[in-house]
Chain A
Amino acid sequence: MRWNPMLRVGAAVFAVGLVAAACGQQESLGGGGGQAPEYEVVQDPRFAPGTTMAELSEAGTIRIGTKFDQPLFGLRNLDGQMRGFDVEIAKIISGQLGIAPEDIEWVQSPSAQREDLIERGEVDMVVATYTINDERAQRVSFAGPYYQAGQILMVRSDNQEITGPDSLRGSGARVCTVTGSTPSENIRPFIEESQLVLFQQYSQCRDALGTDQVDVVTTDNVILLGYVANSEGQFKLVGDTFTEEPYGVGIPKGDVQFCLFINQALTEAAGTGAYQRAWEATAGTVAEETPELPELNSCR
């Protein structure tokens, strides 16, 4: 590791931050700073008998699948606290069912297992950077989307040359992403084959960016936001997202009532400002703009 002065300062700040966190402050870089916002928990909500909402509300508890290792979206801290935008969205929805955050049972849901968890009934819903697509919609239903993610570029902070995907070709910049990934296919039209560097994991791309071996890392903005947040100013995102990855709430296939209920909850949250507070307390700590709630699907 080469310790340039910026990094040294960054490390010092980070160390101070660690001490502060140890002194009881509820802070963590990965999960977004600040006090976790509170949301309305409806007292004695009424639902038509036999619906999923009635069952969950009656039970007073809900099992929610999310990522445990995705900074800013779904991250479990060392002390067991759940942090991130997905977590906040799940809390908002649960509140509308009359379930308080402490009554939520969090279930780790890695990407490859999400459909299985829903189909086997091991979770009631999944909020886990879960991109809506036709293939997945064969097996599960999606409420939302509650966020429009997309592929974006990350560069070293001192890079002025790269401003977006269109500036890549001809710049000779080496662009890193993961072998066999959707982002690797999406970036190909913007670069020469020789510019592409492929690894097994995004963390390897990030390390290569840190050692000047590559100039750009590209994948979903959600993943890159986490790296920027932890880079102590070394990296930044440039340009707009250039693909659309709508994140939905995964629920059992065909549960239209539940889908409509979740969409209702999301719409209300956007109206009351709960949605915005959820963002600002998490991903909003490193992202510049607070997103609008995207147009919701019809649940049919």
Chain B
Amino acid sequence: MTATTPPMIKMAAVNKHFGSLHVLRDVDLEVDRGQVVVVLGPSGSGKSTLCRTINRLEPIDQGTIEVDGAPLPAEGRELARLRADVGMVFQQFNLFAHKTVIENVTLGPIKVRKLGRSQAHETAMTLLDRVGITDQADKYPAQLSGGQQQRAAIARALAMRPKVMLFDEPTSALDPEMINEVLDVMVALADEGMTMLVITHEMGFARRAAHRVVFMSDGEIVEDAAPQEFFTAPRSDRARDFLGKILTH
């Protein structure tokens, strides 16, 4: 990586309010190419909002956000193009309920990337194979387990060949026995060198796959460190407090 390549994600002095609630306070964050960044923090700390501002599902009040060196465009065609390059995985999966799994995965490539139907289908099947649900291709989302749905949602995002993947608490809505099948897919993705920003409570994933851990509290980034360093020697009281709560059980 040379000095001239811009970071994949660059947020500078970003502020965001929900009414009187100040949910992002002067946030500065850079994610380099190929890096996996895990964002931790108590609920209500603003980590989900942070994630959603990067593809402008939430607009910001002040500051700048750049993806791959280009500032976020305003609502419109430009923005749609940018979003195609930024994959996103939601807590609630949000698979299109009226379409089968394969249709979910091919919709973007056909409508946005203008791929031919057969080519899109072929790529989609490869991706479904990668996430291990080829046999579910023709089912509707409601017929799948939560873990299968989330893997399908990851395949849907990957089908766009994104430059970066955003994961907004991808395992929080899953039953415990299904968490690992999703995390496995994410670890594999990280190993392949995908740039990832992951909001999660899964410490195991952070230890195994993350290059950096960012700790947020009350809308601020409080710590930004390597996982090993963060988990063994957190610098702030808030981080210590947080880790104490989730690791004691």
A and B, direct touch (CB closer than 8 Å) = no
Q: Which of B's residues lie within 8 Å of A, judged by CB?
A: none
> Could you list which residues of chain A lie within 8 angstroms of chain B, going by C-beta atoms?
none
